[in-house]
């Protein structure tokens, strides 16, 4: 039982660290239809201008716009399908439509 308590406490500390880092972080669930966001941290919310209730459950496509690179999006889709890691830089858009860059 001590191990379970230790794991639970560590998960709490990890989540707290992720919540307060200034780097924008998101987690999606590719096992659900349309790969929705299931976690966003404060850094992401501050960077994009959205509230958590506006983004959870949505696919990240709402951040895309005219200048979002289609090649990078294809690389991400392929990596998700193949369960592989990929790093690309995307030009996405904040709630106020200003551009912001993200690495996925």
Confidence grade of residue 6 (pLDDT, cut at 50, 70, 90):
low
Nearest-10 Cα torsion for 103, 60, 67, 75: 60
pLDDT tens track for 29-52: 989 999 999 999 999 999 999 999
- Total of domains in the chain: 1
Given pLDDT bands bounded at 50, 70 and 90, which one contains residue 101?
Answer: confident
CATH assignment of the domain containing 79: 3.30.450.20
Helix or strand (DSSP H, E) at 80: helix 70-82
Find the mean pLDDT for residues 60-69.
92
| Domain containing residue 76 | 2-103
């Amino acid at each position: 039982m001590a191990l379970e308590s230790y794991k639970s406490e560590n998960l709490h500390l990890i989540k707290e660290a992720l919540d307060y880092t200034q780097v924008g972080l998101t987690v999606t669930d590719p096992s659900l239809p349309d790969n929705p966001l299931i976690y966003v941290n404060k850094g992401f919310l501050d960077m994009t201008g959205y509230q958590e209730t506006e983004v959870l459950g949505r696919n990240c496509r709402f951040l895309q716009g005219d200048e979002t690179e289609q090649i990078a999006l294809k690389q991400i889709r392929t990596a998700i399908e193949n369960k592989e890691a990929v790093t690309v830089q995307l030009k996405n858009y904040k709630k106020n439509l200003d551009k912001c860059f993200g690495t996925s």
